[in-house]
Amino acid sequence: MPPSTPSAPSAPLDAAAVAHLQSWQGKSETLHEQLAAQPLAALAATLDLAGAAPQPDEAVPPLWHWLYFLPLAPRSAIGPDGHPRRGGFLPPVPLPRRMWAGGRLRWQPHNPLCVGQPVQRQSTIRSVQHKRGRSGELLFVVVEHHYSNAAGLALTEEHDIVYRSAAQPGEPAAPPQAPPLAGQAAWSRRIEPDAVLLFRYSALTFNGHRIHYDRQYATQAEGYPGLVVHGPLIATLLLDLLHRQLPQARLAAFDFRAVRPTFDLHPFSVHGQPAADGRSVQLWAEDHQGWLTMQATAHLA
């Protein structure tokens, strides 16, 4: 059972501990997988996109590649948060809270990842940075992924992971931010983040992190007010909004940054505003109070 009170403060990371974690910089792994159609059909159903799943030899929609190359850790290797125990490919960071903080993706326009293709993913830890914030210790890890098919490189992705100290009673929340384009959205959509949506996305991405489906753990062990909506799911919904409005658009690049957690307690919304030149789209998500939760830019080919 998860603890009934917030975790004890994490021991500060001294210079030797930080240096040990930074020794993971440059570590690489290479995985291979065939891009099966079934996970894509399941995500289309989860997002209520009837008949939208790509068929064999069709391009995998942007960000749907996150359904592949999943960490298949055995149950005996799972940590108390539901993630695989640390110290394999990723450094053994002792800070208990882990979040997907953002990413940067670049597609090769003439070489898409397609359903049925065998694909190689080469992953490298590019940086490990330590900081101290007002809420405690922070460690930022940047992982770079190169996805290649028989024709060569298809996608380059940088994935930002942030590790944080345990939540403490009375810990101040970060000041909320208003969206830079508040009230100027050309497109908007309201999302109901119910527990079934979060469970299905966790299942599709084989994400055992308990903050997304175990309310007692999320609120008592990690100090959140409710279940946390996955950052990758919000990013996927941002691009889904773009696709609904510009179904023929081809994506060249996508940069996104998580700003504030989103919880299942209230609806949230996703918004878009195309640039005047038609070459990019500003995308963002807001919580039920109108505060910015994710900010992104999509560059069109």
Q: Beta partners for 124?
A: 28, 144
Give span(s): CATH 3.10.129.10, the chain: 1-172, 176-193+229-301
Side chain identity, residue 278: G
pTM as predicted: 0.92
Task: Give the pLDDT confidence of 188-218 residue by residue, as tens digits.
Answer: 999 999 999 999 999 999 999 999 999 999 9
Could you say which residues of the chain have pLDDT below 70?
Answer: 1-11, 135, 169-172
Smallest CA-to-CA distance from 97 within 228, 193, 190, 195 is with 228
Residue 209 has a pLDDT of: 94
Task: Give the pLDDT confidence of 122-142 residue by residue, as tens digits.
Answer: 999 999 999 987 767 899 999
Give the domain 176-193+229-301 fold. Thiol Ester Dehydrase; Chain A (3.10.129)
The two tokens of residue 107 are 């597609």
Residue 170 has a pLDDT of: 66
Write down the architecture of domain 1-172 according to CATH.
Roll (3.10)
